[in-house]
């Protein structure tokens, strides 16, 4: 059995002023089994207050998504960028620990520079993992979209250099690169034998490398991804980790669409049940 989580980023957006205190309402209304907390750059000024507030809420923060700008700074790699990335990453680790999370999701590369100097990003992984370990957190690297190569190639490179590396598999990102078949293939079975510790779910309606379509994180069934196939695969490999739904679920006026999210959780649980029967 997998554990279904909700990304705070699916509900807490600029549309509702990034009001993280809405998570208490979401906890009451959702059928998920906890949250993945998404960190935003605008929160660094009062990060300790936010972490303290969330820790005091009656919610379960299971995983923590590191601010995406950490990977963007590493990718840009101008003077002082890597030092700033480590400083920001450390704050993210402190927040995650205060909230009770045990697993971190990191975009190791990102932004316009993306993977243009991927060797720098891979080298930086070791430093960031050491910081995460100091806070008793498991660091996972996500298959973030690339504008030079593709994330699977970089994940293999990470694995060859750090055989105990762990990953978050985002099926929407895999679909963006046309890599779903490869990620689920026998050739990459090694990933599902302990390397993949966490999964992100959102649907994708575009063609391969359609950057415009990537802006919309759809609910399963609204795009082209075969989620029944994914859950059959998870059953076959015996995956029992966490799965976070990232599908955007907030109206234009900022109202959280928790009922829509609950429909998605029900749909995914049906797929899981059917896969386990088979």
pLDDT band of 92, cuts 50, 70, 90: very high
Q: Is the C-alpha dihedral spanning 143, 146, 150, 156 positive or negative?
A: negative
Mean pLDDT confidence for 244-272? 98
Token pair, residue 253, equals 């006026």
* Overall domain count for the chain: 1
Write down the pLDDT at residue 187. 96
pTM assigned to the model: 0.98
- pLDDT > 90? residue 115: yes
Q: Write out pLDDT tens, residues 118-152.
A: 999 999 999 999 999 999 999 999 999 999 999 99
Mean pLDDT confidence for 9-24? 97
Question: Cα–Cα distance between 20 and 17 in angstroms, integer?
Answer: 9
Q: Write out pLDDT tens, residues 215-254.
A: 999 999 999 999 999 999 999 999 999 999 999 999 999 9
Query: Shortest CA distance to 202 belongs to which of 244, 151, 239, 142?
Result: 244
Domain of 249?
A: 3-277
Write down the pLDDT at residue 32. 98
- pLDDT > 80? residue 44: yes
Mean pLDDT confidence for 259-275? 98
CATH number at residue 200: 3.20.20.150
Write down the pLDDT at residue 260. 98
Write down the pLDDT at residue 277. 86
């Amino acid at each position: 059995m997998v554990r279904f989580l909700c990304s705070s980023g699916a509900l807490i957006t600029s549309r509702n002023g990034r009001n993280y205190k809405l998570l208490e309402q979401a906890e009451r209304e959702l059928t998920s089994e906890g949250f993945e907390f998404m960190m935003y750059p605008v929160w660094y000024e009062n990060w300790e207050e936010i972490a303290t507030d969330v820790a005091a809420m009656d919610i379960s923060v299971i995983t923590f998504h590191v601010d995406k700008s950490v990977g963007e700074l590493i990718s840009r790699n101008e003077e002082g960028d890597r030092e700033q990335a480590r400083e920001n990453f450390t704050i993210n680790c402190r927040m995650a620990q205060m909230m009770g999370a045990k697993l971190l999701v990191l975009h190791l590369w990102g932004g316009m520079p993306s993977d243009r100097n991927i060797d720098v990003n891979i080298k930086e992984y070791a430093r960031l993992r050491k910081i995460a370990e100091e806070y008793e957190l498991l660091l996972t690297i996500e298959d973030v979209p690339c504008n030079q190569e593709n994330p699977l190639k970089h994940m293999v490179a990470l694995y060859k250099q750090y055989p105990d590396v762990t990953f978050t598999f985002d099926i929407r990102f895999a679909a963006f690169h046309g890599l779903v078949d490869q990620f689920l293939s026998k050739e990459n079975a090694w990933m599902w034998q302990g390397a993949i510790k966490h999964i992100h779910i959102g649907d994708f309606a575009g063609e391969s490398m359609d950057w415009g379509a990537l802006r919309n994180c759809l609910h399963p069934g609204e795009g082209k991804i075969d989620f029944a196939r994914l859950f059959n695969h998870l059953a076959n490999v015996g995956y029992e980790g966490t799965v976070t739904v990232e599908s955007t679920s907030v109206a234009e006026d900022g109202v959280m669409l928790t009922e829509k999210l609950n429909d998605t959780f029900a749909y995914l649980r049906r797929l899981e049940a059917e896969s386990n029967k088979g």
